[in-house]
C-alpha cells in the first residue's frame, strides 16, 4: 500500500503482507519468532546484522578464554564487588563456577527437552548441560541425544536438587513456569524461563518479588527473544525523542485465533512414556488424559493446551507476551492503576479468542499518564484516519501522541505526523552516539549475565510487571467491570470477586514458592 509521502515518514515501509496459512495458524514473521515459522532460505537484514554481533559475542564469550580474557573477567568482578561497597562480598552464584572458574562454563539444568526446548540447544552447547528433565521419556531421550552426559529426570522438583547446578532453562507448560522459576531462584540458580512467566497475577508477583530479592546474585530472562530485533530500539527512540509529540495512548494487538469448545473428554490411556500426573503437576482439577493436548508439532504443541484456563492464558501469554513487549519496551511503565476487559461470552473452560483490554498507567518522569490497550482475536484499534490499514498487520503496536502516530510490527515502523501543526520541530532525534546499541543474541545475553554482570533485557522485574498487567486484564474481563488496582499491595480495591481471581488453588504437594 502506498502512503502519502507528504504526511508520512516511512523509516522502513511496512509492506503489509497477506498472512500465509499453516494449518489454521497464521505465519506472522520471517524467521525470528520461534513461535511457528522459520522459513528456510529467508535471510533478513537484521538477521545478517546479528550474525556479525553474534560472532563478536561468541568471541568475547569463548569457552576457552585466553589468559588475558580470564584476568579481565576477574578484574571486572573485583571491580563490581568494590563498587557494591559492602564489607561483605556476596558472590553471584555463577561467578565461582561460571566466568571465573577454570572451565568458564555454567552447569545448566534444562527442563522441557523437546519442542521449544530445542530452540535453546544451540546456545547451550557452549555450556555444561548437566541435567535434563521432561515428563515425557521420549522427549527426554531426544534431549539426551544432544547432551548425553546429563543426568535425566521426569520430575523437575528432583532435578532442581541436583548438586552443582548454576542455572536453569525452563521450557515447560505455562502453568509450571512460575513454580520452576521460584524454586530455581530459591535455590540460588539463575534462570531463563520461556514466556509467559506466569499464569495468574499472584504467580507473577511472587516470582517478581523473589527475583528482586535476588537480583544482586542471579540473572533472569523471560523468553521473548524478539526483543533482540533492533526495531525495538528504534521504536523506543522515536517515542522517547518526541517524534509523535506527547505520548497519550498505546495499542497492541494480535490476530491469532485458536477457538476451543471446552476441556477435552477422557480418551484412551496416556502412553507409557508420558508421566501424565506430573504433566498436570500443580493443576487442582483432575483433567483426564486426552491425546489432543499433545497433538501439536515441536515448538507448536503449546497451542494444543494454552487456550484452557488451567493450562494457559490464551493469546495473552502466547503472542501477547511478544507483542506487548514491543510496546512495553518503549513506555517505561510500572503496574496499571485500573483494568477493563470486554470480549466474547465467558467460557469457564476456555480463555477468550476475541478480547479487548484497557489499562490506565500513571505518569512517569518523562511522560504524562497514558492508557495501554490490548486487542486480540479480531478486535482491533481504529486505524489512524484511514492512512494505514492496521488489520493488515497481524501482530503490531501503535503509539498515539499529541502530534501523530507511530505504527510498528516486530521489524518495521511507520511514523505518521498528524495535521498541519505537526511540523516535527518538537522531535529531537538523538545524536549517533546516543543511539541504543543492538543487544546481540538474546539467549547469549542471559548466559553472559549469569557469568558476571547479571544484566538482561527481559528480567523478571520488567517482564513480570508486563505479564501481571495482562493477567489483570483477564481478571477484569472475567468480572465484567472496570477494576481499580493497587499495584503496591497487589489488590483490586473495588471488586472482591476480582481479588479472588488474582490467584488460584493448587493440587496438594505442589508449592508455588517452594
Ligand atoms: N519464545 C517463543 O517464541 C516460544 C515459542 C514456542 C513456545 N514457547 C513457550 O515454550 C513453552 C513450551 O512450549 P512447547 O510448544 O514446546 O510445549 P510442549 O507441550 O511441547 O512442552 C515442551 C516440553 O516440555 C515437556 N514438559 C511439559 N510439562 C513438563 C513438566 N512439568 N516438567 C518437565 N517437562 C515438561 C513436554 O513433554 C515437552 O517435551 C510454552 O510455555 C510456550 O509458551 C515460546
Domain boundary among 226, 246, 280: 226
Domain boundary among 210, 226, 242: 226
Per the structure, the count of domains in the chain is 2
User: Is the CB of 293 inside a 6 Å radius of any atom of ligand 1?
Assistant: no
Q: What is the pLDDT of residue 103?
A: 55
* Residue 507 belongs to some domain of the structure: no
Question: Both 239 and 148 in a single domain?
Answer: no
State which H helix or E strand residue 95 sits in.
helix 93-97
The predicted model gives 253-263 an average pLDDT of 97
Question: Both 344 and 242 in a single domain?
Answer: yes
The predicted model gives 247-260 an average pLDDT of 98
Q: Of all protein residues, whose CA lies closest to atom 8 belonging to ligand 1? A: 116
* Residue 278 belongs to some domain of the structure: no
Question: Both 234 and 190 in a single domain?
Answer: no
Domain that holds residue 105: 50-226
Count of positions (residues) in the chain: 514
Q: 173: CA distance to ligand 1 center in Å?
A: 5
Q: What angle do CA 320, 326, 328 make, to 5 degrees?
A: 85
* Residue 457 belongs to some domain of the structure: no
Using the predicted structure, report yes or no on whether residue 245 has a pLDDT greater than 60: yes
Which cell is 323 given? 507483542
* Residue 193 belongs to some domain of the structure: yes
Using the predicted structure, report yes or no on whether residue 28 has a pLDDT greater than 70: no
Question: Both 216 and 92 in a single domain?
Answer: yes
Question: Both 252 and 155 in a single domain?
Answer: no
Domain boundary among 176, 202, 226: 226
Question: Both 242 and 340 in a single domain?
Answer: yes
* Residue 161 belongs to some domain of the structure: yes
* Residue 481 belongs to some domain of the structure: yes
Atom of ligand 1 nearest to the CA of 154: 33
Output the 3-class SS for 25-48: EEECCCCCCCCCCCCCCCCCHHHH
CB-count burial class (<10 Å; 0-12, 13-18, 19+) for 473? buried
pLDDT more than 90, % of the chain: 79
Question: Both 187 and 63 in a single domain?
Answer: yes
Question: Both 238 and 135 in a single domain?
Answer: no
pLDDT tens for each residue of 200-214:
999 999 999 999 999
Question: Both 193 and 241 in a single domain?
Answer: no
Q: What is the pLDDT of residue 84?
A: 31
Atom of ligand 1 nearest to the CA of 317: 43
- pTM of this structure: 0.84
Q: What angle do CA 133, 123, 179 make, to 5 degrees?
A: 40
Question: Both 203 and 335 in a single domain?
Answer: no
Residue 176 CA: distances (Å) to CA of 179, 287, 399, 407: 5, 16, 33, 34
Atom of ligand 1 nearest to the CA of 142: 39
Using the predicted structure, report yes or no on whether residue 18 has a pLDDT greater than 50: no
Supply the Cα-derived Rg of the chain in whole angstroms: 23
Q: Of all protein residues, whose CA lies closest to atom 13 belonging to ligand 1? A: 302
Q: Left (φ > 0), alpha (ψ -120 to 50) or beta: where does 112 sit?
A: left
User: Is the CB of 114 inside a 6 Å radius of any atom of ligand 1?
Assistant: yes
CATH number at residue 419: 3.30.360.10
Q: What is the pLDDT of residue 385?
A: 86
User: Is the CB of 314 inside a 6 Å radius of any atom of ligand 1?
Assistant: no
Give the residue with greater pLDDT, 397 vs 99.
Answer: 397
Name beta bridge partners: 483: 339
* Residue 87 belongs to some domain of the structure: yes
User: Residue 89's pLDDT band (boundaries 50, 70, 90)?
Assistant: very low
* Residue labelled with grid coordinates 505518569: 363
* Residue 377 belongs to some domain of the structure: yes
CATH number at residue 220: 3.40.50.720
Question: Both 133 and 240 in a single domain?
Answer: no
Q: What is the pLDDT of residue 60?
A: 33
Backbone angles phi and psi of 193, in degrees to 5: -120, 130
The predicted model gives 269-288 an average pLDDT of 98
Separation of alpha carbons 351 and 183, rounded Å: 27
The predicted model gives 220-231 an average pLDDT of 98
Question: Both 407 and 494 in a single domain?
Answer: yes
Q: 396: CA distance to ligand 1 center in Å?
A: 24
Using the predicted structure, report yes or no on whether residue 236 has a pLDDT greater than 50: yes
Amino acid at each position: 500500500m502506498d502512503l502519502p509521502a507528504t504526511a508520512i515518514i516511512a523509516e522502513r515501509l511496512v509492506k503489509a503482507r497477506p498472512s500465509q496459512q499453516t494449518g489454521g495458524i497464521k505465519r506472522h514473521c520471517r524467521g525470528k519468532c520461534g513461535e511457528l515459522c522459520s522459513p528456510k532460505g529467508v535471510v533478513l537484514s537484521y538477521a545478517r546484522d546479528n550474525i556479525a554481533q553474534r560472532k563478536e559475542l561468541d568471541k568475547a564469550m569463548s569457552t576457552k578464554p585466553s589468559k588475558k580474557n580470564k584476568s579481565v573477567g576477574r578484574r571486572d568482578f573485583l571491580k563490581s564487588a568494590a563498587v557494591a561497597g559492602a564489607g561483605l562480598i556476596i558472590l553471584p552464584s555463577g561467578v565461582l563456577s561460571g566466568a571465573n572458574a577454570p572451565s568458564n562454563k555454567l552447569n545448566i539444568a534444562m527442563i522441557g527437552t523437546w519442542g521449544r526446548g530445542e530452540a535453546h540447544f544451540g546456545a547451550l552447547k557452549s555450556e555444561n548441560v548437566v541435567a535434563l528433565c521432561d515428563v515425557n521419556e521420549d522427549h527426554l531421550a531426544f534431549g539426551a541425544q544432544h547432551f548425553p552426559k546429563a543426568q535425566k529426570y521426569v520430575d523437575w522438583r528432583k532435578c532442581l536438587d541436583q548438586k552443582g547446578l548454576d542455572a536453569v532453562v525452563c521450557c515447560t507448560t505455562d502453568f509450571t513456569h512460575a513454580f520452576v522459576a521460584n524454586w530455581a531462584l530459591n535455590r540460588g540458580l539463575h534462570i531463563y524461563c520461556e514466556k509467559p512467566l506466569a499464569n495468574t497475577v499472584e504467580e507473577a508477583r511472587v516470582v517478581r518479588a523473589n527475583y528482586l530479592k535476588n537480583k544482586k546474585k542471579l540473572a533472569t530472562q523471560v523468553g521473548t527473544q524478539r526483543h533482540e530485533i533492533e526495531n525495538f530500539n528504534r521504536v523506543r527512540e522515536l517515542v522517547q525523542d518526541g517524534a509523535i509529540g506527547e505520548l497519550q495512548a498505546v495499542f497492541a494487538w494480535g490476530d491469532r485465533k485458536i477457538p476451543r469448545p471446552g476441556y477435552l473428554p477422557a480418551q484412551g490411556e496416556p502412553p507409557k512414556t508420558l508421566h501424565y500426573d506430573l504433566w498436570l503437576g500443580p493443576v487442582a482439577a483432575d483433567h483426564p488424559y486426552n491425546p489432543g493436548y499433545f497433538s501439536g508439532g515441536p515448538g507448536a504443541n503449546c497451542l494444543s493446551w494454552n487456550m484452557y484456563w488451567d493450562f494457559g492464558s490464551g493469546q495473552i501469554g502466547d503472542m501477547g507476551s511478544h507483542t506487548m513487549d514491543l510496546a512495553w519496551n518503549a513506555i517505561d511503565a510500572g503496574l496499571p492503576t485500573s483494568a477493563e476487559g470486554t470480549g466474547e461470552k465467558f467460557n469457564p473452560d476456555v480463555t477468550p479468542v476475541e478480547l479487548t483490554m484497557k489499562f490506565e498507567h500513571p505518569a512517569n518522569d518523562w511522560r504524562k499518564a497514558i492508557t495501554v490497550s490490548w486487542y486480540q482475536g479480531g478486535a482491533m484499534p481504529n486505524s489512524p484516519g484511514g492512512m494505514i490499514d492496521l488489520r493488515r498487520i497481524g501482530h503490531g503496536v501503535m503509539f498515539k501522541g499529541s502530534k501523530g502516530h507511530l505504527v510498528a510490527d516486530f521489524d518495521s515502523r511507520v511514523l505518521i505526523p498528524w495535521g498541519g501543526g505537526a511540523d516535527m520541530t518538537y522531535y529531537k532525534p538523538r545524536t549517533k552516539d546516543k543511539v541504543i546499541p543492538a543487544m546481540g543474541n538474546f539467549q547469549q545475553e542471559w548466559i553472559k549475565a549469569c557469568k558476571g554482570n547479571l544484566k538482561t533485557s527481559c528480567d523478571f522485574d520488567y517482564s513480570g510487571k508486563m505479564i501481571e498487567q495482562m493477567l489483570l486484564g483477564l481478571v477484569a474481563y472475567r468480572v465484567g467491570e472496570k477494576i481499580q488496582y493497587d499495584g503496591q499491595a497487589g489488590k483490586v480495591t473495588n471488586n472482591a470477586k476480582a481479588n479472588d481471581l488474582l490467584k488460584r488453588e493448587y493440587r496438594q504437594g505442589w508449592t508455588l514458592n517452594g
